[in-house]
Chain A
Amino acid sequence: MKQNEMLAMILAGGRGSRLLALTDKVAKPAVSYGGKYRIVDFPLSNCANSGVDVVGVLTQYESVLLNSYVAKGGLWGLDTKDSGVFVLTPREKADAGLDVYRGTADAITQNIDFIDTYDPKYLLVLSGDHIYKMNYDKMLQVHKAQGAAATIAVMPVSLEEATRFGIMITDENDRIIDFEEKPAHPRSTLASMGIYIFDWKKLRKILVEDKDDPNSAHDFGKTIIPTLLNGGEKLVAWRFEGYWKDVGTIDSLWEANMDLLTDNNDLQLDDPTWKIYTEDATVLPAFIGPNAEVDTAYITQGASVEGTVKHSVIFTGAVIEEGAKVIDSVLMPGVTVKAGAVVTRALVADGVTIGEGAVVGSADSKAITLQAQDV
C-alpha cells in the first residue's frame, strides 16, 4: 500500500497519576483492559483499521514497557513495507538541549523532523489513553469536504460532565465558533475527545511560532486551538457516536471493564470487521473447573477458574482457586486468588496474589478497592 496522506501521532506521555499504584511502573496507555488488551491497543488498532499506516507514539513517563510494546508494529499489522509504529521519546538535538516534552503540542513540535520525512498532507493527533473504536478515515473525509484547517472529534455529554471537558461551541454547520476549557457554566455540551485532524502545513507553521514563546503552555487545547480560532481559521467539530471512555481513575477503569458485561454494549469488541488487536499470549483456552460457578463474566484465554466468578472481568493467566469468590471485580493479568479468599468490588493489579481466606473489598463500599500488593 502506498504511503497515505495522513500520518498519526499518539500522545502517550502522560502518567495517569489518578490510577494510583497501577501507573507506578507503567504509563497509562500500557495499563491492561478488557481481559487481554492494553489501552493503547485501541488507537493503534483504530489506525490500522482506518488505513492510517504510519503512527508515531510519543512517550515519556515510565516508558520502558510502553516503548517495547508499541515497537512491535506487527501486533496491529503495521509492519508492512510502507507502514510502521515509531516510538518517539524526547531526545537531544544539535540546535537544542535535551528537553522533556513540555506539553502536548511541544511533543509534536519536537518531532517535526520525523513528520517531515513523510511529508503528509494531514496530521492526526490522538490520545493514547482512551477506549473507543473510531474510523479516522470518515473523519478525514469530513475534514476534506469542509476544507477545514482543523477538525476536532466531539461527543455530546451531560451538562454536568461538560464542566470537566474542553467544550466546543458550534454554528449550524458544525463550524466551531468558540472554545472553552472546563467551563463552570458550559454554553454547549459538545466535548472535545482530544482527537484532531490538522492541515499539516498550517499546524506546522503555528507550532514553529509557538515553540519559543515563553508564556505558552504548548498545549493543543490551551494554545493551538485558540490560536487557530483567533487567526480566523476554519475549525470543524465532527460528531462521534458510540462508546468512548477516558479511564482516568480506578473507579472509571473498573466501570469501563464492567461495561463489557452488559449485553450489546456499544464497544462490541467481538465485531469481526473492526477487531482490536493486541499481543497474543501463548496460553491454553480458559479452563473452567468441575466445581466452578461462573455467572455473567468476561473471561479470556489462559485464565483458570475453579472457584466462583460473578459479574467480573478475568484477564490472561488469572487463577481463581476452588472455594475462592470473585464478585463485581476486575482481575488483571496473572492475578491469583487462593482458596477461600473473597474479592468484592475490587480491581486487583497485575500479578498480585490474594492469599488463602483473605478478604479484599466490600459490597458496601462506594469506591472500588485497588489491590496492588499481595495480601
Chain B
Amino acid sequence: MAKAFGIITSSVDQKVEGLQEYRPIGAISFMGRYRVIDFPISNLSNSGIINIQVYISSKPRSLAAHIGTGRHYNINSKRGRIQLLFPTEQKLNAVYNTNINALYENMDYIKMQHQEYVVIVPSCMIFTQDLNELLQDHAASGADITVLYHKVTDAKEGYSTCNEIALDGNRVKSITPFLEDTETENISMETYVMKKDLLLKLIADAKATSSMYTLANIINAETDKLDIRAVEHKGVFAPLTSLDSYFKASMAMLDKACAADLFSPDWPIYTRTSDSAPTRYLAGSCVKNSYISNGAVIEGTVENSIIARGVKIGKGAVVKNSIVMAYDTVGEGAVLDGQVVDKYATIRPGTKVVAPAGQVGYIRHSDVL
C-alpha cells in the first residue's frame, strides 16, 4: 500500500455539451461499458493508492451509484476506502465553484488522512499512469510538487479549458490557461503529487487570495517559491472538454493500437458489472469495426460505432459513426450517423438523424425521436 491517499477532483470548467446536463463528466459512459471515473480510480487502485476521496460537486446520483463501496475497483474495504464528498454547489454565482472551494469545505477530512502524501487526479481526463511510480520519483527528487503533463502537437483543438505548462528543463515556470498560440504545448494533466501538509497550506493560501482561485492558479502563484517539477506522460491522453473531444476520444479507440495502449492486460480498468447476458447478433445483422457491449440485440447494420449495454438495433436500421448509450432502442429502418445518443432514448422506426460531415449530433436522455 502506498504512502499516499488519492483525491479525485470534480470537473468545473469543462462542458461536454448535452451529456453533462445529466451527470458529472466522471459519470459519462466510455466505450460502452466504462465510465470516465473508472480511469482515475483504476489508476489509483493499480498503484496501491486505496484510500481515495472523490469530490462530486453536482448531480451525484449516477456517480455515487456507480462507485458504491469501491469493491469492484479491487479496493480492500477494510484497509482502504472510497469516500464520496459532496461540496455544496454555489448557485448564486458559478465563479465560486472551484476545485479549491470543494477541498476547502472538506479540509477536516483531508487533515484526517494518515498518509503523508496526496496524489491528486482529475475526473475528466482519460489516461493511464502508474501513480505509485510518480509518487516514488517525487519523494526521491526532493521537489515540493510534481505535476504530470502531456506534450501535444495538435494544440489547436480540444484543449480549450485545459492549462498549459511552461518549462525550464523539468522545472515548472508557470501553469496558465491554454492559448491557441503554438501547435506544440505541454498540457497540464491536473495531476499533482505533494505532501498533505503542503496541500492544506495551498488551499488556505488560495482561499485568502481569491475565491476564484483554482488549484492550478495557486500552484502557478507559487512557482517562484516552491520547487515544482513536471513529468511527461506518454500514451493515450484524452481530456474531455467538449462533446466533440468526447466523441473523438471514443472513436480513436476503434484503432486497435490506441485501444491496446489504454487497455493493457497488466493495467486493468475496472468497472461495475451490470450482469447483462452476452449480445445476440440476429440473422441479417451486419457489424463492422465497432465495439459492442453485452446485453444488446442487433438485427441491423452497425459501422464504426460504439454500442453500449442493452441497446436494441432493429431490422434494417443503420448506425454509423455513432455512440449509442445504454438501453437505447433504434427502430426498424432508422438511420443514425455522427450521433451521440444518450441513455434510454428511442429512435422510432424510419427516423433519420445524420450529422453534417465533421460534426457531432447529440440526442437527449430518454428522448423519443
Contact = CB atoms under 8 A, between A and B. Distances in A.
Interface stretch (A171-179, A229-237, A295-303): A295-303
A359 interface: no
A288 B290 contact: yes
A114 B288 CA distance: 54
A285 interface: yes
A346 B292 CA distance: 25
Contacts of A261: 280
A263 B284 CA distance: 13
Contacts of B285: 294-295
The interface residues of chain B, by DSSP majority, are classed as loop
A239 interface: no
Most chain A beta carbons < 10 A, residue from B268, B270, B294, B307:
B294
B288 A285 contact: no
B294 A285 contact: yes
Contact of A288 (B269, B276, B277, B292): B292
A288 B279 CA distance: 12
B289 A290 contact: yes
A299 B289 contact: no
Contacts of B71: 74
A369 B79 CA distance: 49
Contacts of B273: 280
Contact of A289 (B33, B289, B295, B302): B289
B263 to A, nearest CB: 6
Contacts of A269: 277-278
Nearest to B260: A284
Contacts of B268: 282
Contacts of B287: 288, 292, 294
Contacts of B290: 287-288
A300 B291 contact: no
A361 interface: no
Contacts, number: 101
B288 A288 contact: yes
A130 interface: no
Given A269-B277, A270-B276, A284-B259, A296 B291 contact: no
B341 to A, nearest CB: 16
Interface in A265-320: 269-270, 275-278, 280, 282, 284-301, 309, 313
A298 B291 contact: no
Interface string A76-119: 00000000000000000000000000000000000000000000
A202 to B, nearest CB: 37
Contacts of A313: 278
Interface string B272-311: 0101111111111111111111110100001000110000
Contact of B292 (A35, A74, A285): A285
Contacts of A301: 33, 278, 293-294
A263 B282 CA distance: 8
Contacts of A218: none
A73 B297 CA distance: 30
B282 A296 contact: yes
A262 B270 CA distance: 32
B288 A289 contact: yes
Nearest to B308: A285
Interface in B225-275: 256, 259, 263, 268-271, 273, 275
B292 to A, nearest CB: 5
A297 B287 CA distance: 11
A277 B256 CA distance: 30
A325 interface: no
A34 interface: yes
Nearest to A267: B277
A103 to B, nearest CB: 35
A338 interface: no
B66 to A, nearest CB: 14
A299 B269 contact: no
B8 interface: no
Nearest to A45: B275
- Which of B269, B271, B289 has the most A CB atoms < 10 Å from its CB? B289
Contacts of B279: 286, 298-300
B288 A296 contact: no
A199 B277 CA distance: 35
A280 B269 CA distance: 12
A294 B307 CA distance: 15
A15 interface: no
Nearest to A275: B275
A36 interface: yes
Contact of B288 (A36, A278, A290): A290
Nearest to B269: A282
Interface in B108-123: none
B288 A286 contact: no
B288 A291 contact: yes
Contacts of A296: 281-283
Nearest to A34: B278
Nearest to B299: A263
Contact of B289 (A36, A263, A286, A288): A288
A298 B278 contact: yes
Contacts of A298: 278-281
**A-B pairs with the 10 shortest C-beta distances?**
A280-B273, A35-B278, A269-B277, A300-B278, A290-B289, A285-B293, A282-B268, A270-B277, A297-B281, A285-B291
Given A288-B289, A297-B281, A298-B279, 15 more contacts: A260-B278, A260-B280, A261-B280, A280-B275, A287-B291, A288-B288, A288-B302, A289-B289, A292-B288, A295-B285, A298-B278, A298-B280, A299-B278, A300-B279, A309-B281
Interface of B: 31-33, 71-72, 256, 259, 263, 268-271, 273, 275-295, 297, 302, 306-307
5 contacts: A280-B72, A284-B263, A294-B287, A298-B280, A299-B292
